[in-house]
Structure formats: C-alpha cells, structure tokens
Structure 1
Amino acid sequence: MPSNNTTDPTAEWKNTCHPYVPGLEPSYGYVPSLAAGIVFCTLFGLSMVAHTFQFTWKRTWWCSVFAVGCLVEVLGWAGRTWSSQCPYNGNAFLMQISTLIIAPTFFTAGVYVLLGRLIAILGRSSSMLSPTLYLWIFCTCDVLSLVIQAVGGGMASIASNNGSDTKPGTDTMVAGILFQLGSITIFVFFAVDFIRRTMKQHVLHTMSRTVVPLLVSMVLSITCIYIRSIYRTIELLQGWKGFLITHEGYFIALDGAMMVLAVSVFNFIHPGCFLPQNETVGSSRDSVDKEIPTEARV
C-alpha cells in the first residue's frame, strides 16, 4: 500500500521475493534458517508418509489425525523455508504462522482417541469417564482451540503485513493456546487416574500383549505438546518484538523438535500394532468381579 511505503520500506516487498537487507528486519525479527526449514519439512514429511502407510495397513483410520497434523506442520515449515529466501514476503509469513499454531491440535486429538480405545479394551472401571465422553469432551475442546488459534493467527499475520495493530490477533491466539493448555491439563488428570486404576487392577497386560508401550508413548507425546504450549504462550505474551519470538533457536527447540517427538513416537509405537485386537479384557473382568463376592476377590 502506498501509505505504508513511506513508513515501512519493506511494504512493497510483501508480495515479492526480496533478499534480506541489513537493518530492515522482517516480521520474524530475523531471517528463518533454510537448514531448519529443510530438516523439519523432511522429518514431518517422513512421519506423514509413515503414518499414512501405517493407518492404511492396519485400518486404524482414526490415526489419520497424526498424518494430517504432519501435513499441516510440513506446510508451516515450507512457509519458513520460503521465508528464508524471501524474508519480507507476507504470504510466506501468513502461511507459517497460521499452520504451525494449529498443527499440534491434531496430535492431541490422536492422544485423546487413543486413551478412549485403551479404556474400551481394559474396561469401564479403569476410568472415571467412558470412552465416548472422552471423545466428545476433549475432541470438542480440540476443535474449539483449533478454530480460536487459526482465527487469531490469521488476524495477527494480516495485521503484521499491513503494519497495523497485531494485539487483537495475538490475544486471540493466546486465548486459544491457553484453552488448549487447560484442556490438556484436565486430560492429564484423567490420564493419571486411568494409569493408577489399571495398575491397581493389574490389567495393563491383556491376553495377547502389554499396553505399557502405548502408555509411555502417550505420556511422551502429551508432555512434548505441553512444553510447546507453555513456550508459545510465553512467546506471544511477550509480543511480536519480544525476546523469544525474535530468537529462532527457541522456536526450533521448543516447537519444532517437540512436535517431531510428539508425533514420530507413534510411528515407532503405532496403535495399530500395539493395541490388542478383539479383546475386552477389562469388561470381562468387570463382569467376573460382579459375580465374585467382594471378600473373595484378590
């Protein structure tokens, strides 16, 4: 826009590919790393291909959320790779901020469904909530979080490109991340209760296999997502000129690396391979327990 050109020398480069000019900082506050962009595009791309093969092979269609999340991550890191060559391009900036802010929502959805599956296998007594309630409550929260963050990301990136106030969009993004953080915290409470109950009931080992590897992968994944959510909250609260958001190393370590671990762990411990098939160990145990007097149970 002509009105912006007088105050922002980079305004006319928003739709072009102009190389970095020392002293004229891009919206990032730095020039994104080309190497990091290529590495994370490759890692998430490989995980996406692996997840697609795995959920197709095992017919665990719900695991497609992991592949979709990886695709969104690839788009985001492709935007950052684009920005490494065209640091002032507004489309590249919009592309990466709108996708990377919402990608983890697909991973949390997968973890929520996984716990519901484990409850269905190990029995209703292993959880305070039924598997159906888990899906309705936490997946609904996931969708709401995704929408809020996507809207906020779009508002903030458009405002940044136009040189206007980014605070409304940033506040919306923070609200979405805090909402997600709150829902994850509540989920962790129920997940800990699930683990406590299954250990007490000695049902972690089914007739054919143990579900311990899945529990470990679930804990690792949700921990990585939790760390990332805390980082992004602090980053955005500091503002677009804050310390964290203008130092790429933190983003690479606390967002990119955390998300690679959160989703790739399920490539190695895939639910389709580790979930017991056609077993309802817990439910059969529940029915047996009803027939045995309390004082006779071990």
Structure 2
Amino acid sequence: MAELKPYRGNYYLWQYLPSTEAAGVFAALFILGTVYLVWKVIKTRAYFCIVFIIGGIFEIIGYCARAAAKDKTDVLMPYVIQSVLILIAPALFAASIYMVLGRVIRGVCAEFRSVIPVRWLTPIFVCGDVVSFVVQASGAGLMVTGDSVKTGENIILGGLIVQVIMFGLFVIVAGIFHSRIRQWPTAPFLAGRAKWEGIMVMLYTVSVFVFIRSIFRVIEYAMGQDGYLLKHEWTLYVFDATLMFGVVATFAYKFPGGLTASAVKDEETMEQEFTNRTYLV
C-alpha cells in the first residue's frame, strides 16, 4: 500500500499522496489534444504553433510523472519533472497565443488599428513570456531540491506575476484592436468576418483561462508550503489541469491555421485590389 515518505530527513516532497487515476486521465486528455494539434499544424503548415505543441508535450510528461509518483513519494525525479513541466507549460501556450494576434492584425490589413506597432507587438509579449518562463523554471529548480524552498517560491511568484501582467496587457491590446476593427473594418475583415471574429473570441477565452490559472498559482505560492492550496491536490486539477486542457481544446477548436505567411499575403492582395477598385470608382 502506498504511503507518504520523506525525501530527506523530515523534508517531504509531497504534501499528499498524488492520485494516479486523476493524473492518468489528464495525461490521456493532453495526449489527444496535442496529437490533434500536431495534425492541424502539419495540415495547415501553421508552424508558429509548434511552441504550443511543446507546451502540450510538457503537460503530458508532467502528468505521466505524477501518475507514476504515487509509490515514489521519496524519489526526487518524478516530483521534479511534474513540478517543473506543469508549472512552465502555460508559458509556452502563451507564446503561441501572443503570435496569433499579430497574424490576425496583418491578416485583416489593419496594422494602423493596433495600439502597439505590429512589428513590436509579438516581440514585446513573447519577450515578457520568455522572462516569465525562465524565472519560473529557475525558481522551480531551487524549490524542488528542498535546499532553498522559500527562495524558490519567491522566484516562481515573481515569474507568475510577470505572466499575469503580460496577459492583462495582452487582453487590453487585443480588445482595443478588436473594437477598432469592428468600428472601422477593412475589406479583408469584412470578407472573412466570421473567421476573424471566431479567432478573436478564441484568444479571449484561452487568455482568461491562463489568466485565472496564473492567479491561482500566484495565490498558491504566496501561501507557501503550509498553505491550503499546496496541501490539497484537488485544487491543482480544478484550477490548473482543467483550465489548461480548456486552453488546448479551445485552441484546437478554433485553430488559427489560416494565418500562415501565404494566407496573410492573400489577404494583403485582397486589400490592395479593393483599394484599387475604390480609386477607379
């Protein structure tokens, strides 16, 4: 029978016996979602979404490690794998989400409607995401060894706060652009309005999911090792696993496969032809 064992002395890696069944269910769900996304990326050549797929792979490996950890609560490696990969996977989802907005703006030929110049839009948010990713990963590396738990928690907290701020700004920028393009639409936007509106709704939905999850993680690490959230496994599955699978499912449902370079070029050609016809009239 499985029992909670200390890793070293009186230091416990786990605050509870991890559920093999729950971890297995989510590992299977992320496998299904990620395999579907791989197929969509190959089919539509939307290779900018590869980072999103890597995030899905991180989730799969993380929950597989949790599933295998029930009888190994005194072994460091399964704990490290699940702790780090599940923590940082959403940062990889975020990178693809940020890239989608820039492609939408170019696709509807509405660079002049963006609050931030499009050439800087993706780099700004992706750089912020990279900072969040690196900070969280380094903090997790310190925390899981048990040598600098409090320092690791504080570093992770800082990375999560960066993630929350970046997502808040992203939603504001996306919302302002969406409002402007609906008020002053371009020809490509009108020609494919249902598609563009659907992608924007998808961006809002996945952004809210990641935002809520990040807030949960901020509270979790702010409360520390003795806090309720880190001591009860159900909170991870409700406020992290479920929300992140929601991100994968929503992204797959409204997959931005029509935003490849060739597709954007076609939209720009459409805009030019529209402009030329306008001048001729």
TM-score, normalised with respect to structure 2: 0.88
Taking every aligned residue pair, what percent have the same amino acid on both sides? Answer: 26
* Alignment pair present for 1:246 and 2:231: yes
1:193 positional shift: 0.6
Q: Which structure shows the higher helix fraction?
A: 2
Q: 1:171 aligns with which of 140, 144, 154?
A: 154
Q: Which runs of 5+ in 1 are unaligned?
A: 1-8, 14-23, 293-298
Q: Which residue of 1 aligns with 2:86?
A: 100
3-state SS, counterpart of residue 244 of structure 1: helix
1:59 positional shift: 0.6
Q: 2:64 aligns with which of 74, 78, 81?
A: 78
TM-score, normalised with respect to structure 1: 0.83
Q: Which runs of 5+ in 2 are unaligned?
A: none
Q: Which residue of 2 aligns with 1:152?
A: 139
Please give the per-residue CA displacement for 1:173-220, whole angstroms capped at 9, x wherever unaligned: 001111111111111111111111111113484424521111111111
Q: Which residue of 1 aligns with 2:191?
A: 207
Number of aligned residue pairs: 270
* Alignment pair present for 1:181 and 2:164: yes
Distance in 2, matches of 1:121 and 1:165, equals 47
Q: Which residue of 1 aligns with 2:174?
A: 191
Name the amino acid aligned to 1:114. V
Name the amino acid aligned to 2:212. I
Instruction: Name which of structure 1's ranges 113-122 and 78-87 shifts more when overlaid on structure 2.
Output: 78-87
Q: Does the aligned pair in 1 maintain the 2:59–2:85 contact within 8 Å?
A: yes
Q: Does the aligned pair in 2 maintain the 1:119–1:130 contact within 8 Å?
A: no
Distance in 1, matches of 2:16 and 2:274, equals 59
* Alignment pair present for 1:279 and 2:267: yes
Name the amino acid aligned to 1:183. M
Name the amino acid aligned to 2:51. V
1:126 positional shift: 2.2
1:25 positional shift: 9.0
Q: Which residue of 1 aligns with 2:74?
A: 88
Q: Does the aligned pair in 2 maintain the 1:150–1:173 contact within 8 Å?
A: yes
Q: Which residue of 2 aligns with 1:10?
A: 6
Q: 1:54 aligns with which of 32, 40, 45?
A: 40
Q: Does the aligned pair in 1 maintain the 2:114–2:176 contact within 8 Å?
A: yes
Q: Does the aligned pair in 2 maintain the 1:127–1:190 contact within 8 Å?
A: yes
Q: Which residue of 2 aligns with 1:36?
A: 22
Name the amino acid aligned to 2:15. G
Distance in 2, matches of 1:217 and 1:197, equals 18
Q: Does the aligned pair in 2 maintain the 1:206–1:281 contact within 8 Å?
A: no
Instruction: Name which of structure 1's ranges 269-278 and 172-181 shifts more when overlaid on structure 2.
Output: 269-278
Please give the per-residue CA displacement for 1:228-257, whole angstroms capped at 9, x wherever unaligned: 000000000111121011111111010000
* Alignment pair present for 1:114 and 2:100: yes
Larger radius of gyration: 1
Name the amino acid aligned to 1:72. F
Distance in 2, matches of 1:285 and 1:197, equals 22
Q: Does the aligned pair in 2 maintain the 1:65–1:106 contact within 8 Å?
A: yes
Q: Does the aligned pair in 2 maintain the 1:116–1:130 contact within 8 Å?
A: no
Q: Does the aligned pair in 1 maintain the 2:199–2:256 contact within 8 Å?
A: yes
1:66 positional shift: 1.6
Distance in 1, matches of 2:75 and 2:151, equals 22
1:287 positional shift: 5.9
